[in-house]
Amino acid sequence: MKFRRITIEDIRSIAEDLKFSADEQYLERMTDYARMFSDDLSALEPGAFATAGQGSDRRAWSLPVEDHNALGAWAATIDLQENSTGPLSGKTIALKDNIFVAGVPMTNGTAFLSDFVPEFDATVVSRVLKAGGRIVGKATCEYLCVSGGSVTSATGFVRNPHDPAYSAGGSSSGCGALVANGDVDMAIGCDQAGSIRIPASLNGIVGLKPTFGLVPYTGILGMESSIDHAGPMTRTVEDNARLLGVVAGYDEFDGRQKAVEVGDYTSGLESSIRGLRIGVLKEGMDHPDADPRILERVRDALRRLEGAGAVVRDVSVPEHRLAVAVWAGLYFDGIRLSLEWGGINANNRGLSSGKYNEMFQHWGARVADFPENAKMVVILAEYMKRFGGYFYGRAQNLAHSIRRAYDDALSGIDVLALPTTTTPSVKLPGSGAPMDLDTTMQQIGGYMWNTAQFNVSGHPALSVPCKATSNMPTGLMLVGRYFDESTLYRVASKHEELCAAVE
């Protein structure tokens, strides 16, 4: 984008908008001073000087072949591999289509961004390639990633491989479906309210929202930098731990990171869980809309873990219910600021894409084409302007209290346990059914009522498959202390072993 020098007409118009009067001489002097401070902005135009993240060549990619995309889960296919050795050697990986891959188009589930091509790789992409992973495609995601269902992507529904008539969940919908279907070994999804864990639960795979800041978010489209997370989605606990070990750690471009502690996530997978304390979160089990079959599957899994030597007892965190309201205070104002800033999170010392920023600024002309839930999000974001950031500030203050409440509970136990999703996957609308407001909102549903809390608190939360409910998967969610993903994997690995023993 080319910088345009400010004029006296600009100054006059802005003064009128701000409702202060000024004579012509004042406006002339103000224009001179404004130019003194702003003319140098022309140095920030593209090509003026080299910046970090520039210079990657265009890479080969293709749209998915329709015959090989029955689930609607592929956004694009690619084939990238830089090393033949490393911890991810032999593994195929898909990336949610809000993650930058230099030279490969990225739509974020929309139509109006279809021409955007990132100019640099996300940090997680660079780390996967360095570790020997083979990136084979971009996975479909929901429109602007604002859905917990799988019906809003501009390219159509994403279907659940266990039964294509049902939802795959979202917003990392394609990642969940591709991993569950065996199309890839691993995927990297993103999570602001449950968007890794919801599709993990509904597709019957393993999905981790890591500790806040553990996995760098550089080169990934965000909504609100204090709740943005990226993490691994896999079929097995071991693969999940292996992928986390590759992508976790300090990144100079991610200003959200603070005292990051990276563990050895695979070494303790076979350790005994005898004596390990699991707290069953009361407020996570008694949601009024919870499906009793899901609750029984979770209780059954916990009985098995208790039989393996874990100490299981009930715990209460009353703030669990308040945390969803805190999430809303962060989310909608965060969306508002992102829309105003052209898709860039303010107060974040990371890399950003000028190309994306320039293209995203035209979103307002396309709102009529947005899916109904995205329109609702935009309306609420615009509504929050009336409060001048008051509720965002309140939510940020309360987020510290929410974190302390979970920390207090975890001081007496090792892991919290609760259902990932309290309702099962819903049946998708029939072919040609109108996606009106009611239908869309029913599809995105109440999947996030146990997940969004941990985006607020930042605690690591891992969804592992439970037995099927009415032939569709569901998930057990394990929540741990900051940077203690290793304990979550230890419990999850034992759960996986116990499930395999009875199948």
HEC profile for 229-284? Answer: EEEEEECCHHHHHHHHHHHCCCCCCCCCCCCCCCCCCCCCCCCCCCCCEEEEEHHH
**CA 144 – CA 6 distance, rounded (Å):** 33
Residues 188 and 233 in one domain: yes
Q: CA-CA distances (angstroms) from residue 410 to 184, 319, 419, 438, 455?
A: 35, 14, 17, 39, 17
In this prediction, residues 51-56 reach a mean pLDDT of: 49
Instruction: Determine whether 195 is an active site residue.
Output: yes
For the cut 80, the answer to whether the pLDDT of residue 90 exceeds it is yes
Residue 445 has a pLDDT of 75
* Structural domain includes residue 235: yes
For residues 37 and 81, state if they share a domain.
no
In a domain, 167, yes or no: yes
Domain count along the chain: 2
Highest mean pLDDT among 254-258, 289-293, 340-344: 289-293
327 in the same domain as 228: yes
Do residues 25 and 79 both lie within one domain?
no
Q: Please report the pLDDT score of residue 55 as a whole number.
A: 46
Tell me, yes or no, whether 445 lies in a domain: yes
> What pLDDT, on the 0 to 100 scale, is given for residue 124?
97
Look at residue 20 in the predicted model and tell me its pLDDT.
Answer: 80
Q: Angle at which helices 437-444 and 372-383 pack, to 10 degrees? A: 90
Whether the per-residue pLDDT at 46 is higher than 70: the answer is: no
pLDDT at residue number 348: 60
pLDDT confidence band for 155 (50 / 70 / 90): very high
Residue of 502, 435, 425 whose CA lies nearest to 471 = 425
Please indicate, yes or no, if residue 49 is contained in any of the structural domains: no
Residue of 126, 147, 195, 338 with catalytic role: 195
pLDDT mean over 459-464: 98
Model confidence band, residue 356 (pLDDT cutoffs 50, 70, 90): confident
Highest-pLDDT range among 153-162, 249-258, 459-468? 153-162
Identify the band that residue 345 occupies on the pLDDT scale cut at 50, 70 and 90: low
- Could you give the C-alpha distances from 67 to 52, 74, 178, 346, in angstroms and in order? 40, 12, 15, 42
- For residue 306, what pLDDT band results from cuts at 50, 70 and 90? very high
- What's the confidence (pLDDT) of residue 48? 43
Domain contains 52? no
Three-state secondary structure string covering 174-239: HHHHHHHCCCCCEEEEEECCCCCHHHHHHHCCEEEECCCCCCCCCCECCCCCCCCEEEEEECCHHH
User: Residue 37 falls within a domain, yes or no?
Assistant: yes
The per-residue b/e assignment along 468-496, b for 16 or more CB within 10 angstroms, e otherwise, is: ebeebbbbbbbbbbbbbbbbbbbbbbbbb
Nearest by Cα to 171 from 457, 358, 451: 451
The reported pLDDT for the residue numbered 346 is 54
Rounded-to-integer distance, Cα 478 and Cα 492, Å:
8
Which residues, other chains included, contact 197 with Cβ-Cβ below 8 Å and sequence gap of 6+?
191, 207, 209, 420, 421, 451, 461, 462, 463, 475, 477
Closest CA to 74 of 161, 178, 154: 178
Give the dihedral sign, CA 51/337/248/498: negative
Q: In this structure, are 29 and 170 located in the same domain?
A: no
**Partners of residue 313 on adjacent β-strands:** 279
pLDDT at 51: 45
Residue, of 46 and 234, whose pLDDT is higher = 234
The per-residue pLDDT for range 375-403, each reduced to its tens digit, is: 999 888 889 888 888 999 999 999 999 99
Do 164 and 267 belong to one domain?
yes
Query: Would residue 2 count as lying in a domain?
Result: no
Return the percentage of the chain with pLDDT > 70, whole number.
93
Task: Tell me the CA distances in angstroms from 49 to 37, 43, 46, 55, 112, one per residue in order.
Answer: 20, 8, 7, 12, 29
Residue 177 contacts residue 255 (beta carbons within 8 Å): no
Of these residues, 96, 138, 209, 494, which one is catalytic? 96
Distance CA 484, CA 460 (A): 8
**Rounded-to-integer distance, Cα 456 and Cα 459, Å:** 8
3-state secondary structure of 164: strand
Question: Is residue 171 annotated as a catalytic residue, yes or no?
Answer: yes
Q: Is 57 helix (H, G, I), strand (E, B) or coil?
A: coil
- Told to judge if 96 belongs to the known catalytic residues of this protein, a careful annotator would answer yes
Kindly give, in sequence order, each residue whose CB lies less than 8 Å from that of residue 298, ignoring residues fewer than 6 positions away.
285, 417, 418, 419, 466, 476
Q: How confident is the model at residue 343 (pLDDT cuts 50, 70, 90)?
A: low
One domain, residues 24 and 77:
no
Residue 468 confidence class, pLDDT cut points 50, 70, 90: low
> What does the pLDDT average to over 181-205?
98
Residues 37 and 73 in one domain: no
Residue 1 has pLDDT above 50, yes or no: yes
| Domain region containing 14 | 8-44
Whether the pLDDT of residue 465 is over 70: the answer is yes
Residues 31 and 116 in one domain: no
Q: Among 17-31, 46-60, 229-243, 455-469, where is mean pLDDT lowest?
A: 46-60
Is there a single domain that holds both residue 228 and residue 285? yes
Q: What is the pTM of this model?
A: 0.92
Rounded mean pLDDT, 209-229: 94
Average pLDDT over residues 431-458: 92
Catalytic residue selected from 126, 153, 171, 352: 171
Say what percent of the chain tops pLDDT 90. Answer: 70
**pLDDT greater than 50 at residue 422:** yes
Question: Which residue, chain included where needed, has tokens 């609607």?
Answer: 72
Are residues 77 and 31 part of one domain? no
pLDDT at 395: 94
Taking all residues of the chain, what is their mean pLDDT, rounded to a whole number?
Answer: 91
The pLDDT of 205-212, averaged and rounded, is 98
76 and 36 part of one domain: no
Does residue 55 belong to any structural domain of this protein? no
What is the average per-residue pLDDT within 120-128? 95
Contact (CB, 8 A) for 138 and 95: yes
Instruction: Give the range with max mean pLDDT: 44-48, 63-67, 96-100, 464-468.
Output: 96-100
Tell me what pLDDT residue 65 has.
85
User: For the domain that residue 359 is a member of, what is the CATH number?
Assistant: 3.90.1300.10
Q: Which pLDDT belongs to residue 352?
A: 75
Q: How far apart are CA 192 and CA 171, in angstroms?
A: 9
- pLDDT mean over 312-334: 94
Does the pLDDT value for residue 446 go beyond 70?
yes
